[in-house]
Amino acid sequence: MSTPLHFNAFVMNTTSHIHHGQWRRPDAGQTEFTDVNTWINLARTLEAAKFDAMFFADVVGHYGDADADYSVYVNEGLQIPSNDPTVLLGALAVSTEHIGLATTSNVFQSHPFQFARQLSTLDHISGGRIAWNIVTGTQDNGSRNFGLPRLTDHAERYAWAEEYVDVTYKLWEGSWDEGAVVKDRDGSRYSNPAKVHKIHHVGERYTVEGPHLPSPSPQRTPLLYQAGSSASGRDFAARNAEAVFIIAASPEIARQQIEDTRRRAVEAGRAPEDITFYQGLSFVIGETEEEAHRKLAEYEQYASVDGYLAHAALVDPDGRVYPPDTPLSELNTNTQKGFAEWTSKAITDREPVVADVAWRSHRNNRIVGTPEQIADQLEEWQAAGVDGINVINWVIPGSFEEFADKVLPVLRERGLAQSEYAPGTLRQKLFGRDRLPATHPAASYRGAFARDSQREESVPAGA
């Protein structure tokens, strides 16, 4: 029997997320993304279909040249307007029981003390079903929205992310010991002060005293997603991530990326199985192959060339957008480096150009066919090392409803999809444990601040 794949619904709190132009279809409900019931109803549909999680992408600015005309993004609804997914998760948490809920948050958009508090609160509300997709940003405009002159250098962004997650780990894992909450009514003591600690973090970017205000949530640290595919991104994932989102052009490219990241994880002292990998794919489903291709032609009629090119805009060191016909070998860019690197690996019969980055996401990461043909191809992705699929929609909710009704039953027959949820937290469902393993760097803070307090108490006065 095959090992089941995991399935996330890859969505964004916006009109046009990945497949641009599709919002114009009459059956596209994503135009109503500001209506909370759009998401509550979708979450319940996904939960009934036993999807593992809803994975919300997010950005904090428009793509491309921050100083140029940005009307293409507004015309296309291309991730503008968009709403905050972290806020939305609260509504979804109280409207569902089992499905995981993942939010994306950039390291410069929220102070780590505040963000750690928000996610602990959501993890309490949801009973331990929250995940965080850690991102470092790709837009100059997004950086300017938070007072920075431009997007920080690629390598420096990951150094920033390392300190950011370090602060959150200290708060989530080290500030409260196990058993700190006692709820002792007779003794008039809600929590044990000896088990609640300040973290006294002093770093290059942050100074955080603590203690963490929320008590430990069911997972303590939320499940950790990451999507960087560059060398720096893979290093960061190897040290921190539990689930890595990839958009590989083929199973073989996926295999290379997965093997490389797992090798780096071992070098960082973690186990290879501590990290899972989710390939982003969209699906065009037909009862016959001919029907599937007819439906694909309908999608192509709505596809926006301008939208795909604008989404994949690559900028030079001065923030100017490279023309679509620029060879990738000539790029010197601070954004989307991983996508450019893997596009270069995927195209070997000619010189790949900037436009290929856009069209690869549109055309190379979709499966067109019958449910059985789709299942066959998913088996190939699994054989390459992929643990799960981020299902990319054309329209909401129809793409997910069709996948649930037509593809998942075939996958279940082959043992490739779960039929019921395992009990417990999201991490328990996916890894068989509620908390991060001892091999994760966050685990080093368990009890660390209690030991620090004991050492301070043992030092004689005036020493």
- CA pair distance 221, 172, nearest whole angstrom: 6
Residues 6+ apart with CB under 8 A from 463: none
Q: Return the H-helix or E-strand segment holding 101.
A: strand 100-106
The tokens describing 357, both together, are 């980055």
Find how far residue 138's CA is from the centre of its chain: 14
**Angle, to 10 degrees, between the axis of helix 112-126 and the axis of helix 85-93?**
20
Q: How many H helices and E strands in the chain?
A: 17, 13
The tokens describing 252, both together, are 């073989």
For residue 336, what pLDDT is reported? 60
For residue 2, what pLDDT is reported? 80
3-state secondary structure of 139: coil
Alpha helices in 134-209 (DSSP H): 140-144, 154-169
pLDDT tens digits for range 238-286: 999 999 999 998 999 999 999 999 999 999 999 999 999 999 999 999 9
User: CB of 403 within 8 A of CB of 375?
Assistant: no
User: CB of 129 within 8 A of CB of 94?
Assistant: no
% helix, strand, coil for the chain, step of 5: 45, 15, 40
| Ranges of the chain with pLDDT below 70 | 1, 315, 317-320, 330-342, 344-346, 355-364, 451-463
Closest CA to 162 of 204, 104, 123: 204
Closest CA to 220 of 254, 290, 171, 273: 171
Residues 6+ apart with CB under 8 A from 112: 164, 165, 167, 168, 171, 206, 208
For 331, half-sphere exposure in the C-beta direction (CA atoms, 13 angstrom radius) is 29
- CA pair distance 156, 268, nearest whole angstrom: 20
Residue 385 backbone class (left: φ over 0; alpha: ψ -120 to 50; beta: rest): left
Q: If you ran DSSP here, which 8-state letter would residue 364 be given? A: I
User: CB of 226 within 8 A of CB of 241?
Assistant: yes
User: CB of 5 within 8 A of CB of 411?
Assistant: yes
User: CB of 87 within 8 A of CB of 40?
Assistant: no
Closest CA to 298 of 442, 186, 395: 395
For residue 96, what pLDDT is reported? 98
The sign of the dihedral angle between the CA atoms of 338, 341, 346, 347 is positive
* Strands annotated E in 173-261: 181-184, 189-191, 201-202, 207-208, 223-226, 243-246
Q: If you ran DSSP here, which 8-state letter would residue 198 be given? A: -
- CA pair distance 33, 57, nearest whole angstrom: 14
The sign of the dihedral angle between the CA atoms of 30, 76, 227, 124 is negative
For residue 275, what pLDDT is reported? 97
Q: Return the H-helix or E-strand segment holding 368.
A: strand 366-369
For residue 332, what pLDDT is reported? 66
3-state secondary structure of 248: coil
3-state secondary structure of 350: coil
Q: If you ran DSSP here, which 8-state letter would residue 432 be given? A: S
